[in-house]
Structure 1
Amino acid sequence: MKKVICLIAGVTFGSTCAQAGGFIQSSHSAAAAGVADAFAATASDASAVIYNPAGIAWLPGISITGGINLYYRDSSVKIPGGIAPNEGTEPTSGHIFATWAPLDSRWGAGFGFAPLYSINNDWSSTAFAGATKLTVDHASFDGVYAVSSSLAIAAGLDWYLTRADFSQVPNSFKKNNFATFGGHASLMWKPAPAWSLGLTYRSGAKVKLSGSANQELAIKLPDELTVAVARDFADVWRFETDVKWTRWSTLKDMNVTGATPQSNPLNLRDTITAMAGLTWTWRPDSQFRFGYAYDQGANKSAGYNPIIADQDGHRITLGMGGEMADMHMDLAYNYTYYTKKTATGLNAGTYRDRKQAFVFSVSKTFD
């Protein structure tokens, strides 16, 4: 087990990930990925640290979840000169979470690390946009209090580690920032044996990166609010639906200022992501999962900026999990179809995007 944990940690801290559409990341564990991330009212493994830390109250003992994400992307734009591909690559990413909830205490704690925001777009062949890599890794530290057997609350600190590499010929900017902090709060309430409600709020944070020649990149990460409800049926079926609001309108631009500036104005709207997931426990400790999510794109057609190449997306997910070698293994597959968007303005064109992802997680509980 020690070797497995070390391998997972190595993958997590040594890699980043880039989603096909937009900036925000999803699928922070295979159990959540299988139900299209409709997980804030379930939070049944250590990835509760990301989805709803209050769920740690129902994870007695020490729980550890870690794994990897594999992505494939097909993104392009149709312009008068023909079809131009987005040459941004999709590297492997990882996640690791740990929780602690003593049986004889109302208090618990959690820690997690995973990429939370990422861009990896390269439109060099279009002549109107360059290459942009921006990754915001996220470490979460949480404290949890069980108010009663049916209600728990949590609050925590978010630590963001940002890496930026912007290139617009002839100018370039490359810098890291490891000192940005934010906060979050959540609750989970089980008003009846078959019902569970979840609420999670994460505040945005201001990220500032300063490079040579007085170069500076300043961005505002968005606030997020997730509301979730889950219902169990016949002891073997669980249905959950989540709605997440993301405040993208606070991200006004990604301009690099200084001696070698880069102009990246944004025209973003606040978005809603609607998720629904169904879990079938076909035998003890073994599940099949199905999910659907509608991901609303933040970019408006007018003033569309391919630095954040996103469209409205429809995500279909499948997953399964079971006990093996005294651990719980989970595997999920996601396919996202993004509707074409015809942009106007400086970066006019018809943008197309598709994404596939495989997510694998291993969970272990120590009583």
Structure 2
Amino acid sequence: MSHLKLLSWISSEQPFHNTNHIFVQHHSRLFKSNISHPSNSSNFPTINCTLRDLRQRIDSVTNTQKITEAMKLVSAAKVRRAQEAVVNSRPFSESLIDVLYSINQQAQLDDVDTPLTNIRPVKKVALVVITGERGLCGGFNKFILRKAEARIAELKNLGLDYTVISVGKKGNSYLVKRPWISADRFIKGGGFPTAKDSQVIADDVFSLFVSEEVDKVELLYTKFVSLIKSKPVIHTLLPLSAKGEIRDENGNSVDASEDEFFRLTSKEGKLAVEWDKTTGTSDGILPNMEFEQDPAQILDALMPLYLNNQILRALQESLASELAARMNAMSNATDNAIDLKKSLSNVYNRERQSKITTEILEIVAGAEALL
């Protein structure tokens, strides 16, 4: 069995805990042996394959264990860096959003028209779906793509059109194989995200919204909560407004039922999450604050920075979640390989002992026959 096939088998979501069934594959044949509990060794049946086949299988599992353990260590080293990037970007991102909400409120009071805060009846929604670049990360890509399909179905039920901007190799290949999903743009990721990477997406989003090709832009990505937990979320990117204000031509709200703004913080050096509904209000800036410049000019200067920052933050969150999922998947795969190797070794030793015993009995029987 090749390492790739074995790696895919032992890295499945279900750990190998049942030692009562051992499958040994050699070339195109599949062998099955029902192995009894060690306490019932007398009832242990003979396995239908040679000792050489078992040795090859044990060697293959051992090599696969080395690969999964190495991938686990690499993912653990990378996820630390990704985690630090997520935590370090939170203070600036939160402060920027507080400032923008406060300025946007003042601009609405002054009846100032700014393109990126223009709330209009929604006819078409752009979905920016962020997935991973590689597999072997459990259900990471499956969950966010399932979330995207659920949101698309929700938009269809509302009678709205949509377009998908796919970011990530896995999402791109998934959507290419499903032509019935309207995906117009495919963007490749790679490595740790930078402001240059997020700017490419921000430019597409900006042109779509300002040209009124779409009336709303939503980010779908995987929120990093901890090393063992992440959650696919939907976040309204444009227009900048309070939750529930974006409606279709009939006055029905088109916001996702799970659209929440996650205020991520770090407490005592540890990750923490506070869940707050987006209200459009800011506690960081006083309502009677005076602006030296026109609020419209400040918004025009800050909105591109807001777009880039929010997309970069989503890319960082998604990467941290992917690496954490891969680390956990490879950890489970390593544990499964250890259990499988132990079970195969027991089978091998029992078969070898049985073979030696049989040969000894044949020698003794032959010697007695000569007497």
Per the normalisation by structure 2, the TM-score is 0.23
Say which structure, 1 or 2, has more relative contact order (CA 8 Å, 6+ apart): 2
Higher helix share: 2
Structure with higher Rg: it is: 2
Taking structure 1 as the reference length, the TM-score comes to 0.23
Structure with the higher fraction of residues in strand conformation = 1
